[in-house]
Amino acid sequence: MTAWRFLVLGPLEVRRDTEVLALGGPKQRTVLGLLLLEAGHLVPARRIIEHVWGVDGAEGAQASLQVYVSNLRKLLRDPGSTGDADDRLAFVRPGYRLRVEPGELDLLRPVVDDRLL
């Protein structure tokens, strides 16, 4: 079983087992960060576009968002995964939801004596 760690308290980082994953450019990283901050909840595509490209959204923002999400879905797929049913990042009209298991996201882990458990 693959061990995942999602780190948002400090520099954005994703670890799969001992490997630190390359998360792509600034906009793709921002998309991932937004999804992690709302882990487990639907994040409307319109809201992601507003945060990444501005309130008016840039021309082609929807298509770019779909490319970033596709890249992230591949990146966040467990090795040996059989397809969409195993994806952590799902399209749920009208946006996206990122599944994070308990203990994987540093933001949601308890702190004891100034250390994350």
> What are the tens digits of pLDDT across the range 50-79?
999 997 777 899 999 999 999 999 999 987
The yes-or-no verdict on residue 100 having pLDDT over 80 is yes
Calculate helix-pair angle for 26-37, 61-75, nearest 10 degrees. Answer: 70
Assign 85 a pLDDT band (cuts: 50, 70, 90).
Answer: low
Question: Where in 24-88 does DSSP place strands (E)?
Answer: 43-44
**pLDDT (0 to 100) of residue 78:** 83
C-alpha to C-alpha distance for 106 and 117, rounded to whole angstroms: 9
Residue 40 CA, chain-centre distance (Å), reads 10
Q: Please give the distance of CA 24 from its chain centroid, rounded to a whole number.
A: 12
Mean pLDDT of the chain: 89
Q: Where residue 82 falls among pLDDT bands split at 50, 70, 90?
A: low
Q: Say which residue the tokens 């639907």 belong to.
A: 42
How does pLDDT run across 40-56, given as a tens digit for each residue?
999 999 999 999 999 77
Mean pLDDT of 27-39: 97
